[in-house]
Amino acid sequence: MLALVLAACGGGGDGADGGGSAIGGASGGSGQSGGSAATNGFTQSATWTFTLPASGSAVCYDFNAKAEVAGCTGSAWDLKVKSANRSATLWTNSGSSGSGAGGAFGGPFDHGWAELLAWKNATTDPVSGTIPATLFFKDAASGVFAGTNDIGSAVFEYGVGGSSDHLLYPNYRTILITADSSKADPVGTAAAPVFALQVTGYYGGAGGTTSGNPSFRWVDRSAPATVRTATVNAAADWVYYDLSAGAVTTASGNWHIAFNRYNIKLNGGESGSGKVAGFLAKTPAGFYDGSGKPVAARFTDASNLAATQSDLSAADLALPADQTKWVKDGTASRLNPAYTGTYPNPMNFGWYTYYPSATAAAAAGLPAVAHLLKANPGNASLLRGGEGSTYARFHVTRIAYADPNDYNSAQTWTIEFDIQP
């Protein structure tokens, strides 16, 4: 259990924001609610029926309001379904997927619906007892800005000064960011620029003490003498930034990098529709010892900002050898486990099973049509809502096709929730 709790810290709990709470504590106001295991906390229910949107698009649901949330913005929504052409993935309002304090306790292969129906409280395992808040895992990003430390960051370290230190410190690593990851070009062009960027801080506002305000500086590698700087207020939601224009934009605009507190993503891979990707070009000397642990005196050195600026255009920057070395963003959620089964046999994705052949589909009681999906209502999960204080058990109960004999026809999904307000 302890190992799981420590691993959970990488999901991005807000305890690392300098507010004084420990990383392993209840994050973002999401501490476990009280209540007796003998009293049923699941006092409400909801059914969400929706048409799967176009590939790459998503729909989000607020199980407290029992309504969809347009644009999947803010902390009120609780479950996101993202279309992947003829299938879909599920996400929580947390970490890399949203600005909320959500999370998932296990995925569809970890819990059965019949098992969870016997639970009286989402925060109390009937066998093991109270579930720590950190075991409601947040969605996590994978990419050049993701790391293996306690906060899952490649550009920040938390609490380098010891147990009483609850601040974030930048390590001034230089990250190359390309606008076109299909090319190995480390310099770029006007149409497809390449930037060298450093994250330089996390606190802003009056006195420079307000968390969730990351600062950064960068150069266009085709004109490296001009260093540009910016600070964004990313305390409440994702903030999208256009490095060419040097301005905040929108998720549908021309953005290269986005910030949500200390989570960072690029417009490519799983994070966006662009071709943006990154490459770790340099870690300045002295920030880590031989075993990879942060050196406190180096992180707290007041001269770091000035001393590392020249790294943006240093001659010793590592460069991608070819286009495959650019790191594209990926994302992970407990709600999307690895599938079981091998093609051309049925493949179980947890929430549904995919039937590659007409024969396999017919054997499962479906029309004799290849490439159909069938819901697995016996699989379930526990979800913490975006507000961090509400919970629900849920399962996918039905996937219906507009034309049952056409796997390309529109899909209508039904998801049922039992809610603990």
Q: Give the pLDDT confidence score for residue 147 in this predicted structure.
A: 87
CB atoms within 10 A of CB 302: 7
Torsion sign (Cα): 174, 177, 181, 184: negative
CB atoms within 10 A of CB 338: 8
Q: Give the pLDDT confidence score for residue 38 in this predicted structure.
A: 58
**Ranges under pLDDT 70 in the chain:** 1-38
Whether the full predicted model's pTM is greater than 0.85, yes or no, is no
Q: Give the pLDDT confidence score for residue 3 in this predicted structure.
A: 36
What number of CA atoms fall less than 13 Å from residue 291's CA on the CB side?
2
Q: Give the pLDDT confidence score for residue 113 in this predicted structure.
A: 98
For 18-108, list the strands marked E by DSSP. Answer: 44-51, 58-62, 67-68, 79-84, 87-92, 103-105
**Complete DSSP assignment for 135-174:** GSBPPEEESTTB-SSTT-BSSEEE-TT-TT---EEE---E
How far, CA to CA in Å, does 312 sit from each of 84, 111, 166, 300?
38, 48, 28, 21
Domain ranges of the chain: 25-139+333-420, 141-331
How far, CA to CA in Å, does 395 sit from each of 82, 154, 239, 335?
16, 35, 32, 11
Torsion sign (Cα): 19, 23, 29, 35: negative
